[in-house]
Amino acid sequence: MLRDLAALAASADPAQLGALGAQLRAAGLNARALAAWAGTTRVAALPARLDEMSGDPATPAGAVLALFVACAEVARDRLGGAAATAIDALVACGLIEGDAARLRARIAIVPIGSALLVCDRLDAAIERDLVCWPDDSSHHLASAIPAGRRADWLDLGCGSAFAPLARPELAHRITGIDLNPRAVRYAQLGATLSGISHLTASQGDVADRRSPAELVTCNAPMPDLADAQATSAGSSDPDGAPTTIPGPPDPDGAPTTTPGPPRPDDTSTGASSGASTGASRAARLRGALPEIWRHADAGFFPRLWPALRQAVRPGGLIVVHGACAVMLPALAEAPGERVVVRYTPDGAPGFAIAWWRPDAPARLVSAHRALTAERPHLDPRDRDDALATT
């Protein structure tokens, strides 16, 4: 059903969808209203915040956010007149279902900055092509890209295109690449709803040949378990189940461990056809889903590093978020300037941002920066500070 939905949305008239997106933002599906409603604009924090929220929305803007972000069933008359035209058109497009009284969004649409991000609902069935909500690694990557307008930007493994949607000002032409066809359709739908005409998405592998870009980014998946074991980043317990690999820390203090696949008798993250309740939204995002969505197939990382080098234009910049266990050994042998800043605590398998300029004078700089409430994600200042120490 969701495959058909994604195809339907992708085939809709772009001008119509752009106008619908503008109407939705005006009706309350925007970052300012999200902050007032949920207490945060950080997408990675929303599942836990949604678990804490209860009761009917008090305002029409809150109803719009409840419909598309919380994916709650909402009474049509709570949405207000500003959303009425957009809602009717989205029902016609198949993005919303319901009757004359109550409505339910079939996908999640979440404000990020001035754009709209499209993902699967938090209670969607767990399957291979699920388009999950971004975690904090997405925020790290997006915030780590230095400012400035480039000619072109290539985002490998783009998913729902969080980074390009969050920072569309960084390039005149932006291309997202992902193997998941549903993610590609959602990325394109998000760009169209957001009115970002210079962002396109297409299906492909990271190693496919393509025109080089001035900026290349990748939020790399978790390493394959065999790769993690080979670099002491993971092991097996006596029963043969993969041990946990800590995920990026949550600035809001929520648990961040990414567990191994659920055991056969574990039903805590099972799919539900109804709305999530209790702690299930956050648990599902941090539980079984990353094993499907965030972990790489065997052979991904050997393909990634040559692909990044081939994808960047001479003089360009590569920015990668990933696990130190696979990133540091690869970059140790790479040419040019490599700056790696880890943000996870000492003694734990690390996650970091790497800034790589293959054509710059050769040097490898590694540093650590603890996250704070004031600076919960890495940014270009961390690269500058690391370079200043050499």
Tens of pLDDT, residue by residue over 242-277, are 333 444 455 554 444 333 332 222 222 222 223 333
**Measured between alpha carbons, how far is 180 from 229 in angstroms, rounded to an integer?**
27
How high does pLDDT run on average in the chain? 82
Helix, coil or strand: residue 202: strand
Run of H or E residues at 261: none
Q: Is the pLDDT of residue 113 over 60?
A: yes
Query: What CATH superfamily is the domain 136-225+297-388?
Result: Vaccinia Virus protein VP39 (3.40.50.150)
So where are the chain's domains? 2-119, 136-225+297-388
H-assigned helices in 248-379:
280-286, 289-293, 300-311, 324-332
Q: How far is CA 103 from CA 5, 39, 91, 197, in A?
A: 16, 24, 9, 29
Helix, coil or strand: residue 314: strand
The pLDDT > 90 percentage for the chain reads 58
List the structure tokens of 44. Answer: 């990675």
Beta strand pairing call for 257-258 and 199-203: unpaired
Q: What is the pLDDT of residue 195?
A: 95
Q: Express each pLDDT in 167-198 by its tens digit.
A: 999 999 999 999 999 999 999 999 999 999 99
Q: What is the pLDDT of residue 174?
A: 98
Q: How far is CA 348 from CA 19, 111, 229, 383, in A?
A: 47, 33, 14, 22
